[in-house]
Structures are given as structure tokens and as C-alpha cells.
């Protein structure tokens, strides 16, 4: 027992690879982790959404993965390894005396956040790193540039009139304000010398002259340029698409308008066109509390089939139908019909079958396309994406980088280039680009992207988690997808190419996906045959990488 009032004691019963939380003061905890015969103490909750990290996944070299959304930390330093966490873990001094672990910590200290360090101030060089786009990837790049010691100007152009936001919140709770959604307060950027310029749209990029021109005529030179403009909603070109209460969902302004439209009715008829993540999440928000009569219009039978497979997709459809959501499958909208009472507003949707659906509000959620119309065509693929090298720079243009939704890149797990539209990937690519720009400015070798893409979707208060490294051929599901309520269903779905596992999805089975994410990264994931034979992946050790 410690006699020091600033120390907390607990039995020294940890083995290598084990973690436990220790109470400190009123409802505060510290996480103890033992790695390579050394005990480390950190804050116990993930800095993203507060998940208990003792239920996470710890590798043999001290990399800790959150069980909820895949955020990773170095338990030796507390530093962020992978998004979506914004802040580092706090670390505390530990000593072992006899059979006790003594932690030097206070409850007050635990309540404080720990932002990533600032290493690039004051600005010492005129070189500018210009970032086009203030979404997930752009914001992450700006913040990480200072973290990694870049000491030039950092200029971020965003066409939205507000601070960078957590866009994932928009489809999970329609009543979102800038105060709730902003990733950081304005003071955070000022402290780091980040010139965050809102309501400014880029018109063109002169890659030979290293200049960016804005739509207002402003021209800005750059030494490094990060293309982080994200994607824009795919529009539906049919009669009536201009009517009021026909909505898309991409920005905070979009979310506010959609929420206002829905609230203007006691219980509106809402038609959602599309069965992607955004449409399905909005449907769950509206149907969960019986806020609206929801009908989903889909070109196919099974939602999210291309991402999660047929069985899981059918389960998701049943889950929604159990909550009263109606599906109109194998059809498409042909016309949005105006109201007789107010011809400026939508009143119904005419389907390709001739059926007419009453519609007070329509949400079109049929995917997105890269927002790259400001770039020279020589940089663009047929789908308007931008191909980058493993270090995320554009071939033959080492000062140019692309991140997030617009970037098409290879990974060690999938050498074919792929484009991934997800918050986590955007942040991780932004963080790597920032590191590489800082390294380049010091003439040091660049790093390559080696993160495992980690996704999640919120449905009726539950999170379905998914990790994927490559397209799959077959799906093997462990669990009953038929007999229980959607919220109570427990399953793990395995995605395979041949006998190799390339992905995993789960519901109510944490930390399976986080564990598999690390196994895939390390090249230690069991084969499909081994899993079918009963191998428990949670018992596969997270040791050194097997990948050559």
C-alpha cells in the first residue's frame, strides 16, 4: 500500500499482454497494460467516444485498439496511431513495489484532455502547405502537420461556412448543431498557426506553376498541396428534383434543412431513395422512435449487399422492416410530383412500376462522386478519382498529395488501387500525408500507407463494425440472423477470397472486428478453413508481423 497521497495502489497481477482498469477517485479510472515485462498506465477511455479500452485489443509491442471504432494508441506514449481518435491518451508514472503497482495519478488530472503536441511553431519558412478541403482528411492533415514538426504556413480552404465537423454525426442524429459537430474550436487552429479559411471554393490548380486559384480570383502559391476535397452527393436527374423538401445529405446545412423539413410535420411520410449507409442510418433514426413513416426505394432487393454480402444485407433489411420501414425493391423513382396546395413542394414519388408513394419529405442517398472538377483532367481517372502512390503522393508530382474519398491507392494487403469513402480512412490518409510532408521538408524518407480500413454504421442504437482489405468472393456467417430482434442479434461474418480472409463484420461481438483488424494488418489472420473448423480468432496472439 502506498503512503504517498498522490499514488494509487493495486495488486501486481498482470501478465504480458494483459490490461486492467483501476479506480481513481470518483468514477475515474486508469488503464494498466503490461507489455514486454513493463507496466504502463494511461487514461482508460478512448478519446473518440469514450469506449472502455480494457475491452480493446493490445498487441505485443504496445499498440492498443479501441473495441468500438478502431482508434489505436501507443500505450507507452499515449500517442495516436490510428484515427478516429482526436486526442492522445494521458500517461502516468508507474512503479512496482513488492506485490503492488503504484500509480502516480489524480482524478483531476484524468479529467483533462491531451491534444497532440505542437512541434512546428513558430513558422520559420515561407513555404506553404495548402490543403483543399476541410473535411475529415483535410482537417487531420492540417492538425498533424504541426504535430510532426512542419514549420511552414498551413492554409486550409473549405467551401463550407463553418469549422471542420464530424460528418459521421449527420446521418446518426439529424438534430446536429455546429457546437455538437465541430471537431475543434477555432482557438485550436489559431494556437497552431493553421490558417483555416471558410466559405472559399477552389476554381483551379496550376500544377506546373504550383498555384491554386479560388472562385473569387484569389491566387495562392504552394510548396506542398493536399487534395482533400472529398465527395459530393450523386444527384437524381428526374422531373421534380428541384422541389422543396427533396434533400441530399452531405453538409451540416443539408442536415439542418432535412431536420427542419421533417419537424414541420407531425409524422411525415419520408421516402428515402437508396440503400447505402447514409440512407439506412437516416431510416433507423426516423423509425427508431416512430418519428416518420419511412419507405425506402431501392434498385435491388438487398441493402448493402455489395459491401456486406447477401446474408448480412437481408438481415439488415429485416431489421428495418421489424421497425416499420417499408421497402420498394427493384424499382426506381421516375418523378417527384408537386403538391396541389403548394406547387413548390414535393407531395409524392412516382415509381417506375407506376406506383405512387406519398412523400412529405424525400432524401436522395444514392452514393457520391469525387469532388475534383477543379483539377486538370490529366490527374483524373474515369471516375474522377486521383491515383496516388503508396506514400499518397501523385505520380511524378512529389509535392502533390491526395487523401480521403478522392484518392485511389494501393495497400500492402491489396496491391490493386482502391478508393474508400469512409471517415476513418480519410483521417488516416490525412495523417500520413502530413507526416510525409514534414519528412519531405527535412529531406527524410517517406512512409507508406499500411492501415487496415475500419468502418462502422449505427442502426437502431447499435453499431455494426466492419473491416475490409480487399473485395471478397464468399461470406461465412457465424450466428443466427433470423430468430432474434435485430438489436439482440449476435453474429460474425467472414469475408474471404479463396481461403484467405479479407474482411470481417460483427454485431454485439466486440472486440472481434478490432482484433481481426490487427490480425489482418500483421498478416496473422487464420484462413477461412481454420475458422470453419472452429478456430477462435480472439485467441490468436497479436505478435510480430508475418507479412514479408
Do 226 and 298 belong to one domain? Answer: no
Asked whether residue 457 is assigned to any structural domain, the reply reads no
Which CATH number belongs to the domain containing residue 281 in this structure? 3.50.50.60
Asked whether residue 237 is assigned to any structural domain, the reply reads no
Asked whether residue 120 is assigned to any structural domain, the reply reads no
Render pLDDT for 75-110 as a digit per residue (tens, 0 to 9).
999 999 999 999 999 999 999 999 999 999 877 787
Do 355 and 405 belong to one domain? Answer: no
Asked whether residue 432 is assigned to any structural domain, the reply reads yes
What is the per-residue pLDDT for 105?
87
Do 351 and 376 belong to one domain? Answer: no
* The residue to which cell 427542419 is assigned: 260
Which CATH number belongs to the domain containing residue 87 in this structure? 2.102.10.10
Do 145 and 202 belong to one domain? Answer: yes
What is the per-residue pLDDT for 1?
44
Do 362 and 374 belong to one domain? Answer: no
Asked whether residue 452 is assigned to any structural domain, the reply reads no
Render pLDDT for 289-345 as a digit per residue (tens, 0 to 9).
889 999 999 999 999 999 999 999 999 999 999 999 999 999 999 999 999 999 999
Residue 503 · residue 455 · CB < 8 Å: no
Do 349 and 388 belong to one domain? Answer: no
User: Sign (positive/negative) of CA torsion 448, 451, 452, 453?
Assistant: negative
CA distance 368 to 363: 14
Torsion of CA 165, 170, 174, 177, to 10 degrees: 0
Do 96 and 188 belong to one domain? Answer: no
- The whole domain housing 339 covers 246-366
* Cell numbers found for residue 489: 442479434
Q: Provide the number of structural domains found in the chain.
A: 4
Residue at which a domain ends, from 321, 339, 366: 366
Measured CA to CA in angstroms, residue 347 lies from 61, 282, 292, 492 at distances of 59, 20, 15, 42
Asked whether residue 62 is assigned to any structural domain, the reply reads yes
Asked whether residue 238 is assigned to any structural domain, the reply reads no
Render pLDDT for 381-422 as a digit per residue (tens, 0 to 9).
999 999 999 999 999 999 999 999 999 998 877 888 999 999
Do 329 and 376 belong to one domain? Answer: no
Do 105 and 132 belong to one domain? Answer: no
Phi, psi (deg, nearest 5) at residue 27: 60, 25
Asked whether residue 340 is assigned to any structural domain, the reply reads yes
Do 254 and 357 belong to one domain? Answer: yes
CA distance 405 to 386: 9
Render pLDDT for 446-470 as a digit per residue (tens, 0 to 9).
999 999 999 999 999 999 999 999 9
Do 263 and 348 belong to one domain? Answer: yes
Do 355 and 263 belong to one domain? Answer: yes
Q: What is the pTM of this model?
A: 0.94
Amino acid at each position: 500500500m502506498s503512503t504517498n497521497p498522490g499514488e494509487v495502489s493495486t495488486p501486481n497481477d498482470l501478465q504480458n499482454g494483459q490490461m486492467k482498469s483501476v479506480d481513481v477517485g470518483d468514477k475515474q479510472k486508469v488503464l494498466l497494460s503490461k507489455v514486454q515485462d513493463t507496466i504502463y498506465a494511461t487514461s482508460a477511455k478512448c478519446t473518440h467516444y469514450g469506449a472502455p479500452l480494457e475491452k480493446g485489443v493490445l498487441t505485443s509491442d504496445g499498440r492498443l485498439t479501441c473495441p468500438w471504432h478502431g482508434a489505436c494508441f501507443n500505450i507507452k506514449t499515449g500517442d495516436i496511431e490510428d484515427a478516429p481518435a482526436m486526442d492522445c491518451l494521458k500517461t502516468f508514472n508507474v512503479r512496482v513495489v513488492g506485490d503492488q503497482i503504484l500509480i502516480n495519478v489524480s482524478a483531476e488530472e484524468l479529467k483533462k484532455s491531451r491534444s497532440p503536441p505542437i512541434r512546428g511553431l513558430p513558422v520559420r519558412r515561407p513555404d506553404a502547405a495548402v490543403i483543399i478541403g476541410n473535411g475529415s482528411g483535410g482537417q487531420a492533415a492540417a492538425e498533424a502537420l504541426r504535430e510532426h514538426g512542419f514549420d511552414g504556413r498551413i492554409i486550409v480552404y473549405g467551401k463550407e461556412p463553418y469549422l471542420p465537423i464530424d460528418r459521421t454525426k449527420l446521418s446518426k442524429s439529424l438534430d446536429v448543431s455546429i457546437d455538437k459537430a465541430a471537431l475543434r474550436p477555432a482557438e485550436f487552429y489559431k494556437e497552431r498557426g493553421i490558417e483555416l479559411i471558410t466559405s472559399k471554393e477552389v476554381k483551379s490548380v496550376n500544377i506546373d506553376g504550383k498555384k491554386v486559384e479560388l472562385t473569387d480570383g484569389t491566387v495562392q502559391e504552394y510548396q506542398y498541396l493536399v487534395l482533400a476535397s472529398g465527395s459530393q452527393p450523386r444527384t437524381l436527374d428526374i422531373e421534380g428534383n428541384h422541389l422543396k423538401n427533396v434533400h441530399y445529405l452531405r453538409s451540416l446545412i443539408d442536415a439542418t434543412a432535412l431536420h427542419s423539413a421533417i419537424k414541420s410535420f407531425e409524422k411525415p411520410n419520408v421516402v428515402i431513395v437508396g440503400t447505402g449507409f447514409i440512407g439506412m442510418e437516416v431510416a433507423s433514426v426516423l423509425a427508431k422512435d416512430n418519428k416518420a413513416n419511412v419507405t425506402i426505394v431501392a434498385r435491388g432487393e438487398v441493402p448493402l449487399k455489395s459491401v456486406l454480402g447477401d446474408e448480412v444485407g437481408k438481415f439488415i433489411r429485416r431489421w428495418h422492416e421489424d421497425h416499420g420501414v417499408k421497402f420498394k425493391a427493384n424499382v426506381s423513382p421516375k418523378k417527384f410530383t408537386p403538391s396541389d396546395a403548394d406547387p413548390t413542394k414535393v407531395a409524392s414519388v412516382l415509381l417506375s412500376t407506376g406506383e405512387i408513394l406519398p412523400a412529405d419529405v424525400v432524401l436522395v442517398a444514392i452514393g457520391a462522386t469525387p469532388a475534383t472538377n477543379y483539377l486538370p483532367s490529366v490527374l483524373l481517372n474515369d471516375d474522377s478519382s486521383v491515383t496516388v502512390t503508396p506514400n499518397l503522393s501523385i505520380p511524378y508530382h512529389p509535392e502533390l498529395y491526395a487523401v480521403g474519398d478522392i484518392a485511389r491507392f494501393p495497400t500492402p494487403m491489396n496491391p490493386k488501387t482502391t478508393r474508400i469513402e469512409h471517415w476513418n480512412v480519410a483521417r488516416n490518409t490525412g495523417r500520413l500525408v502530413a507526416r510525409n510532408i514534414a519528412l519531405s521538408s527535412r529531406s527524410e524518407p517517406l512512409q507508406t500507407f499500411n492501415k487496415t480500413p475500419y468502418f462502422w454504421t449505427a442502426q437502431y442504437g447499435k453499431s455494426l463494425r466492419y473491416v475490409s482489405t480487399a473485395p471478397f468472393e464468399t461470406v461465412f456467417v457465424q450466428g443466427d440472423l433470423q430468430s432474434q430482434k435485430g438489436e439482440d442479434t449476435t453474429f460474425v461474418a467472414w469475408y474471404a477470397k479463396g481461403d484467405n480472409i479479407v474482411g470481417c463484420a460483427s454485431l454485439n461481438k466486440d472486440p472481434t472486428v478490432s482484433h481481426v483488424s490487427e490480425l489482418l494488418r500483421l498478416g496473422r489472420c487464420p484462413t477461412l478453413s481454420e475458422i470453419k473448423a472452429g478456430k477462435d480468432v480472439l485467441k490468436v496472439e497479436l505478435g510480430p508481423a508475418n507479412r514479408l
